[in-house]
Chain A
Amino acid sequence: MEVKRTKGVLKRIAGPVVTAVNLDAHMYDVVKVGDEQLMGEVIKIKGEDIIIQVYEDTSGIKPGEPVENTGLSLSVELGPGLLTSIYDGIQRPLEVLVEKMGNFIERGVTAPGLSHDKKWEFKPVKKAGDMVTPGTIIGEVQETNIVHKIMIPPYCDAGKIKDIKSGSFTIDEIVCTLDNGAEIAMMHKWPVRIPRPVTEKLNPDIPLITGQRILDGLFPVAKGGTAAIPGPFGSGKTVTQQALAKWSDAEIVVYIGCGERGNEMTEVLTEFPELEDPKTGRPLMERTVLIANTSNMPVAAREASVYTGITIAEYFRDMGYDVSLMADSTSRWAEAMREISSRLEEMPGEEGYPAYLAARLSEFYERAGRVNTLNKDFGSVTVIGAVSPPGGDFSEPVTQNTLRIVKCFWALDAKLSQRRHFPAINWLNSYSLYLDTLSQYYDENVSPEWNPLRTWAMEVLQKEAELQEIVQLVGSDALPDEEQVTIEVARMLREIFLQQNAFDPVDTYCDMTKQFDILKAIRFYSDQAYAALKAGVITSQITGLKAKNDLPQIKYVKEYKPEIERIVKTMESEFTKLREAA
């Protein structure tokens, strides 16, 4: 059907959902609503009624005002200028909005996602006569310290380059023409609700190094994998998400603040430009795209923000980068769906969520992955979604539907955060299904001892959980000697290895070598302790060993190697003395 009547009229307004008539439209067409031309999207067609969700506040809009169909679906602008940007849910740059309408978000203001005036230095990597196909990289722009690769848009036909330029251009100027008549600029648009095509999806077998001991050490996520962080409020979801955004070894980070707190977004906005990327030493902001749609910004834009974010992530993946995407929080996204669904008077599913909740969640997470791009490079999008279960109840629909899809589960625990055990990730409930696929990587890149060491640590922690049940009944003194040592070792694992201070300048990031060294030192103590027990040393002397008390301090020391060697040596000599005395 061709869109004939592009102008209709409003019939009904009830919150963010409005109805228009005398309009031809397709699903998900972007429309301009009312005299103020508020942006909206068609979400339902019912006879003559076209039902639209509006991305801006609809107060004061009247029936009879015009509605115009743009005939396009909601798209984002992809090209140089994305990095360091901060957008709302529909890719309007917040900085530009401040210039246009002041400190508060007013409505009816449009702002393109990218600057159309700024010139970028385009360096071609292909030449006239070269054959190109969709996704082929034809040139490069030094955007920040990241090289932005210009691709033939996926919707273009293959052809031969007729002419390719070099020099300074805006994103709209044609830099390349093909023999089939296609004209390529540095920017292209892509509809957010459609995944960008790839050649092939691959198995994720490289870990995303996060610098967080409990994640890298016990529950690693792969590059191109999916992970969920569910937890009640106050258990440290946002701190964990932000730590990941800061320290994960992805080349590009897309951070979606979806229905979260304004002040927290500000924290990100002020902190990221100041923080350094541990790998490159450049400001973290240079590799970051932020999407901030706070809880009081329009709910429909919140629904769209997640798609805007993942489309940008896929775009960088297509250049051959490893991208990590943090969505904080997917529960707010689900609630936006619920809110809009209830305004549509749809039949609700579980707890008022729409019946298509599970489908939408899985579609979203399925856009993650390690891929062979159209240009035959390797790229990945890792998706880490925070979930905010009401009342901390993991049986609610959003958590449950998320768990069915993701491979990595980092269960935050309010009990742990109350005793200031951070990150408050429960080591008994969490899991990672990537351990097997990643084990080869650890053997080759960390140490062949790593995998057994990890298994050992998990066993000790599991054993402790069982023993704690007994301790709860009879007290720790009633345990046999050997098990008292186990409890002590587990305590060290918890306090030294698992606890990590995100606010300490050194401890906030812990590389794999340091993680390995710490774990090895604890293992050393453990082995020595059991040996000492056998030699007849009494338990209190073992658990009271002086040198091990220095171990926690290692976390706060940057050049820790000499110190940890000293501690291990002192432990050894203390144990020797104890054994000799016994």
Chain B
Amino acid sequence: MKEYRTITQVAGPLVFVEKTEPVGYQELVNLVLADGSEKRGQVLDTSDDIVVVQVFETTTGIGKDTGVRFTGETIKMPVGKDMLGRILSGAGKPKDGGPDIVPEKRLEITGAAINPWARGSPRQFIQTGISTIDLTNTLVRGQKLPIFSGSGLPHNEIALQIARQAKVPGSDEQFAVVFAAMGITKEEENQFMAEFERTGALEHAVVFLNLADDPAVERIITPRLALTTAEYLAFELDYHVLVILTDMTNYCEALRQIGAAREEVPGRRGYPGYMYTDLASLYERAGIIKGKKGSVTQLSILTMPGDDITHPIPDLSGYITEGQIVVNRDLHRKGIYPPINVLPSLSRLMNLGIGKGFTREDHKKVSDQLYAGYAEGVDLRGLVAIVGKDALSERDRGFLEFAEMFENRFVRQGKDEDRTIEESLDLGWDLLKDIPEEQLVRIDRELIQKYHPKYRKKAE
């Protein structure tokens, strides 16, 4: 392998190299520093004479005396079954003092797109034990459902609770968790690791850690390594894999950093114009393939800068993912856990995995009715602030009361409280029974007759 010592320019994470032989786009590059240590990078732009290399670590120590070796291949990830239970760095190197991964295969980390024709339809209901997800924003296998949160909100607790409780009722297929942390703090890492150890989850997990003080550019490859691992476990070893990516905001910041270093024309708020395509190349790596047993379900966490859901990061994510779970500061301030605001939350694949034969026939309509009732109650709160409760009609007072009950009984639950879907549905009905029956316009009469507590009691 030829080594060049022809670096002409170093700018931020980018290194410009003059070369004579052809170098492939996205080829893996090794940089050998004067002290003998090595750094890795990837080709971003290649032409007859100059190659632009993006270095995954800091460029500290890189200078004109640095040797550059082009490896002739794109980045590949060694994968194998013994990855389960391992903790790796954001660049895929063992971090737990254990041996290197024995590769059964070496896979390209960019990952090809699943042919839409080969995709299976995700319709297996995952019970997370959290009512606001199971009943009103149902997660199904193969879905990508992010948690939109803000700094200082308990999104990590929610993610952990989901990882701990998630199951497909009545199934005992093998499952695995792939956890990729991008730019999280040491403290958060400890929280996650302690939890994984406490519940014994680590033995069926693969953990990738890029911490806040690790190089930002490494964050570009961390989620790709994690998803490559997940796809391998799911589509070659038949695991049902839950991928947790946190925090996507840090990933996007890294993307912006590289864009700026390349002096690209920036898009909205300085983020690169191709951020949608780039994010899609991560989020879309979830799903089910016809004829394969495993599945990849993605739960990514992102913190909305300034709690602003229209910020480019949550905005572009929301256009790719199949819904979103929105964590809300007001509910958090009221002391409600999990502070999930159902109104802006959504699960797009919900209708595929619920109803007769999946959960219960009344699921969809109960959910719609709860949404409608809560939305109306929340609206009325604004009115009460102006005119006072007394000016409301009896009907309106009923909905106001309903919204309170909904937050305190339905949304609120314990960190270890694992509600079955039946429990959540019955709880929903229990709240709806206080609304006059003719106001339940979202539910057809037949279902009311069958499930409304008033009639159920009579039947019993």
Give A residues with C-beta under 8 Å from B: 11-15, 19, 57-65, 86, 94-95, 97-98, 102-106, 232-234, 238, 257, 259, 261-267, 269-270, 292, 294-297, 299, 332, 335-336, 338-339, 342, 345, 348, 351-352, 388, 390-393, 414, 417-421, 471-478, 495, 503, 549, 552-553, 556
In the complex, what distance in Å separates the CA atom of A469 from the CA atom of B324? 31
In the complex, what distance in Å separates the CA atom of A65 from the CA atom of B22? 9
In the complex, what distance in Å separates the CA atom of A472 from the CA atom of B108? 58
Known contacts A420-B375, A477-B393; decide if A59 and B25 are in contact (CB<8 Å). Answer: yes
In the complex, what distance in Å separates the CA atom of A549 from the CA atom of B440? 10
Known contacts A62-B24, A296-B280, A352-B266; decide if A475 and B287 are in contact (CB<8 Å). Answer: no
In the complex, what distance in Å separates the CA atom of A414 from the CA atom of B312? 17
Residue in A61, A95, A263, A503 whose CB lies within 8 Å of B351: A503
Query: What does the 1/0 interface line of B20-44 toward A look like (CB < 8 Å)?
Result: 0011111100000000000000001
In the complex, the answer to whether B265 meets A342 with C-beta atoms within 8 Å is yes
Q: Which residues of B contact A257 (CB under 8 A)?
A: 116
Q: Which residues of A contact B375 (CB under 8 A)?
A: 418-420
| Chain A residue with Cβ nearest B49 | A63
The winner among A234, A267, A352, A476 for most chain B CB atoms within 10 A is A234
B220 → chain A, closest Cβ, in Å? 14
DSSP class of B's interface residues: helix, strand, loop or mixed?
Answer: mixed
Query: What does the 1/0 interface line of B295-334 toward A look like (CB < 8 Å)?
Result: 0000000000000011110011011111110000000000
| Chain A residue with Cβ nearest B384 | A475
Known contacts A59-B26, A418-B371; decide if A474 and B112 are in contact (CB<8 Å). Answer: no
Q: Which of B235-293 contact A (CB under 8 A)?
A: 235, 264-268, 273-274, 276-277, 280-281, 283-287, 289-290, 292
In the complex, what distance in Å separates the CA atom of A232 from the CA atom of B280? 17
Query: What does the 1/0 interface line of B436-459 toward A look like (CB < 8 Å)?
Result: 001001101100000000000000
Known contacts A234-B323, A475-B392; decide if A13 and B112 are in contact (CB<8 Å). Answer: no
A392 → chain B, closest Cβ, in Å? 7
Known: A262-B116, A263-B349, A419-B376. 18 other contacts (CB 8 A): A57-B110, A60-B25, A60-B26, A62-B23, A86-B117, A103-B115, A263-B286, A295-B320, A296-B113, A352-B273, A420-B368, A473-B386, A473-B387, A475-B391, A478-B391, A495-B441, A503-B364, A549-B438
Q: Which residues of A contact B346 (CB under 8 A)?
A: 234, 417
B89 in the interface (beta carbon within 8 A): no
B414 in the interface (beta carbon within 8 A): no
The winner among A338, A392, A420 for most chain B CB atoms within 10 A is A420
Pick the interface stretch among B57-65, B93-101, B119-127: B119-127
Q: Which residues of A contact B273 (CB under 8 A)?
A: 335, 338-339, 342, 352
Known contacts A14-B25, A352-B266, A390-B268; decide if A263 and B383 are in contact (CB<8 Å). Answer: no
In the complex, what distance in Å separates the CA atom of A65 from the CA atom of B321? 37
In the complex, what distance in Å separates the CA atom of A344 from the CA atom of B54? 20
Residue in B47, B283, B311, B387 whose CB lies within 8 Å of A474: B387
Residue contacts A-B, CB under 8 angstroms, 20 given? A11-B47, A19-B47, A59-B25, A60-B74, A63-B22, A64-B48, A103-B118, A103-B290, A104-B112, A106-B112, A262-B116, A262-B287, A263-B322, A265-B116, A266-B287, A292-B117, A339-B273, A352-B266, A352-B273, A476-B396
Residue in B24, B318, B364, B376 whose CB lies within 8 Å of A233: B318
Q: Which residues of A contact B324 (CB under 8 A)?
A: 234
Give B residues with C-beta under 8 Å from A: 22-27, 44-48, 73-74, 108, 110-122, 142-144, 235, 264-268, 273-274, 276-277, 280-281, 283-287, 289-290, 292, 309-312, 315-316, 318-324, 343-344, 346, 348-349, 351-352, 364, 368, 371-372, 375-376, 382-383, 386-387, 391-393, 396, 438, 441-442, 444-445
In the complex, what distance in Å separates the CA atom of A60 from the CA atom of B23? 8
Known contacts A60-B26, A473-B387, A477-B393; decide if A266 and B44 are in contact (CB<8 Å). Answer: no
B338 → chain A, closest Cβ, in Å? 19
The winner among B26, B113, B318, B351 for most chain A CB atoms within 10 A is B113
Q: Which residues of A contact B117 (CB under 8 A)?
A: 86, 94-95, 97-98, 269, 292
In the complex, what distance in Å separates the CA atom of A98 from the CA atom of B120? 13
In the complex, what distance in Å separates the CA atom of A67 from the CA atom of B274? 26
A327 → chain B, closest Cβ, in Å? 15
Residue in A63, A292, A294 whose CB lies within 8 Å of B48: A63
Known contacts A60-B26, A63-B47, A420-B368; decide if A103 and B343 are in contact (CB<8 Å). Answer: no
In the complex, what distance in Å separates the CA atom of A266 from the CA atom of B277? 20
Q: Which residues of A contact B316 (CB under 8 A)?
A: 390
In the complex, the answer to whether B115 meets A97 with C-beta atoms within 8 Å is yes
In the complex, the answer to whether B289 meets A103 with C-beta atoms within 8 Å is yes
Q: Report the 6 A-B pairs with minimum CB-CB distance, sorted nearest first.
A: A391-B310, A295-B280, A419-B375, A12-B47, A475-B391, A94-B117
Known contacts A339-B277, A391-B315, A553-B445; decide if A105 and B113 are in contact (CB<8 Å). Answer: yes
B353 → chain A, closest Cβ, in Å? 12
The winner among A97, A292, A295, A474 for most chain B CB atoms within 10 A is A295
Q: Which residues of B contact A263 (CB under 8 A)?
A: 119, 121-122, 142-144, 286-287, 322, 349
B17 → chain A, closest Cβ, in Å? 13
A262 → chain B, closest Cβ, in Å? 5
Q: Which residues of B contact A351 (CB under 8 A)?
A: 267-268
In the complex, the answer to whether A104 meets B277 with C-beta atoms within 8 Å is no
Q: Which residues of A contact B119 (CB under 8 A)?
A: 262-263, 265-266, 269
| Chain A residue with Cβ nearest B317 | A233
In the complex, the answer to whether A295 meets B284 with C-beta atoms within 8 Å is yes
The winner among A94, A97, A418, A474 for most chain B CB atoms within 10 A is A418
Q: Which residues of A contact B283 (CB under 8 A)?
A: 295-296
Q: Which residues of B contact A57 (CB under 8 A)?
A: 110, 112
Q: Which residues of B contact A477 (CB under 8 A)?
A: 391-393
In the complex, what distance in Å separates the CA atom of A388 from the CA atom of B112? 25
Q: Which residues of A contact B311 (CB under 8 A)?
A: 391
In the complex, the answer to whether B116 meets A292 with C-beta atoms within 8 Å is yes
In the complex, the answer to whether A62 meets B121 with C-beta atoms within 8 Å is no
Q: Which residues of A contact B74 (CB under 8 A)?
A: 59-60
In the complex, what distance in Å separates the CA atom of A102 from the CA atom of B26? 23
Known contacts A14-B45, A62-B22, A339-B274; decide if A420 and B371 are in contact (CB<8 Å). Answer: yes
A154 → chain B, closest Cβ, in Å? 31
Q: Which residues of B contact A262 (CB under 8 A)?
A: 113-114, 116, 119, 284, 287
In the complex, what distance in Å separates the CA atom of A232 from the CA atom of B371? 19
In the complex, what distance in Å separates the CA atom of A477 from the CA atom of B137? 35
In the complex, the answer to whether B115 meets A105 with C-beta atoms within 8 Å is yes
In the complex, the answer to whether A105 meets B112 with C-beta atoms within 8 Å is yes
| Chain A residue with Cβ nearest B308 | A391
In the complex, what distance in Å separates the CA atom of A474 from the CA atom of B290? 58
Q: Which residues of A contact B318 (CB under 8 A)?
A: 232-234
In the complex, the answer to whether A94 meets B115 with C-beta atoms within 8 Å is yes
In the complex, the answer to whether B320 meets A261 with C-beta atoms within 8 Å is yes
Q: Which residues of B contact A61 (CB under 8 A)?
A: 24-25
In the complex, what distance in Å separates the CA atom of A137 from the CA atom of B386? 70
Residue in A60, A388, A420, A478 whose CB lies within 8 Å of B319: A388
In the complex, what distance in Å separates the CA atom of A471 from the CA atom of B383? 8
Known contacts A11-B47, A263-B143, A420-B375; decide if A352 and B386 are in contact (CB<8 Å). Answer: no
In the complex, the answer to whether B24 meets A261 with C-beta atoms within 8 Å is no
In the complex, the answer to whether B24 meets A60 with C-beta atoms within 8 Å is yes
In the complex, what distance in Å separates the CA atom of A297 from the CA atom of B281? 8
In the complex, the answer to whether B344 meets A414 with C-beta atoms within 8 Å is yes
Q: Which residues of A contact B372 (CB under 8 A)?
A: 419-421
In the complex, what distance in Å separates the CA atom of A197 from the CA atom of B419? 62
In the complex, what distance in Å separates the CA atom of A297 from the CA atom of B273? 16
In the complex, what distance in Å separates the CA atom of A102 from the CA atom of B112? 11
B112 → chain A, closest Cβ, in Å? 4
